[in-house]
Amino acid sequence: MAVGARDPGALGRFFDCYFDRVYGLVYRLVGERGAAEDLTQEVFLKVHRAAHQLDPTRDPGPWLTAIAYNACRDFWRSSAYRMRARSGSIEADPALAARLTRGTNDPERDLLAEERRELVLRAIQRLPEPLRIAVVLYEYEGLSHEQIARMTGINHAAARKRYSRALESLGKMLREALG
C-alpha cells in the first residue's frame, strides 16, 4: 500500500528488493552495461509514475517484467540502438554477466561455471531479438509460454516455437564454440 502511495521509504525498499532482478533481465536482453543501466533507471522511473496502479495483493514481478521488456523493445526501436548496432559497439560484459548469478565457494567449479555462463550469455546475445526474448523471459524470468505470448503480442504456439528455435540455435552455437 505504501508503494502505491509513493512513500519514499517504501519505494526505496521496493527498488532494493527488485533492482537486481530488473537489471539482470534488461542486461540479458540488451547485452550492454550502459544501456542496461539507463533502461533499468527508466523502468524504475515508470514504476514511480505508475505506483498507484500496483495491486498490493499481487506479485509485482510480472508487472516489472512487462515494464522492463517494453523499455527494451522501445530501445531496440530507437535510432540510437540501430546506430550502435551498426557500429558494432553492443557487446556483452562477461565479467558483469558472471556476477549476475551467485556461485559456490569452490573456485575451480566457480571458474568452470563462469566460463559456461559467459559462453551461454554470448550465444544468447547472438540470437535474433525474438528468439533472445523467448529464452530470457522463459529461462531467466520464469514466465510461461502463454505469458510470453501475451507480453509479445503473439499466439501461444508461436511463443513455444520461438523458444524451440532459440534452443536449437543455442545448441548449434554452443556445439560450434566447444568444437
| Top CATH class, 127-179 | mainly alpha
- pLDDT, position 120: 87
1-91 against 127-179: fold identical: no
CA distance 166 to 100: 21
- pLDDT, position 103: 44
C-alpha cell at 163: 523458444
- pLDDT, position 92: 46
Domain 1-91 sits in CATH at 1.10.1740.10
- pLDDT, position 82: 57
- pLDDT, position 90: 41
Sequence spans of domains, the chain = 1-91, 127-179
CA distance 99 to 109: 15
Pick the closest to residue 121 from 30, 23, 35, 19 (CA basis): 30
Residues 6+ apart with CB under 8 A from 48: 6, 11
- pLDDT, position 105: 58
> Quick one: 102 exposed, middle or buried, by C-beta within 10 A (0-12, 13-18, 19+)?
exposed
pLDDT by residue for the chain (179 residues), tens digit each? Answer: 577 667 788 788 888 888 999 999 999 888 888 889 999 999 988 988 888 888 888 888 888 898 999 898 888 888 665 555 554 544 445 555 555 554 445 677 767 778 888 888 889 999 999 999 999 999 988 889 999 999 889 999 999 999 999 999 999 998 898 87
HEC letters along the chain: CCCCCCCHHHHHHHHHHHHHHHHHHHHHHHCCHHHHHHHHHHHHHHHHHHHHHCCCCCCCHHHHHHHHHHHHHHHHHCHHHHHHHHHCCCCCCHHHHHHCCCCCCCHHHHHHHHHHHHHHHHHHHHCCHHHHHHHHHHHHCCCCHHHHHHHHCCCHHHHHHHHHHHHHHHHHHHHHHHC
- pLDDT, position 7: 75
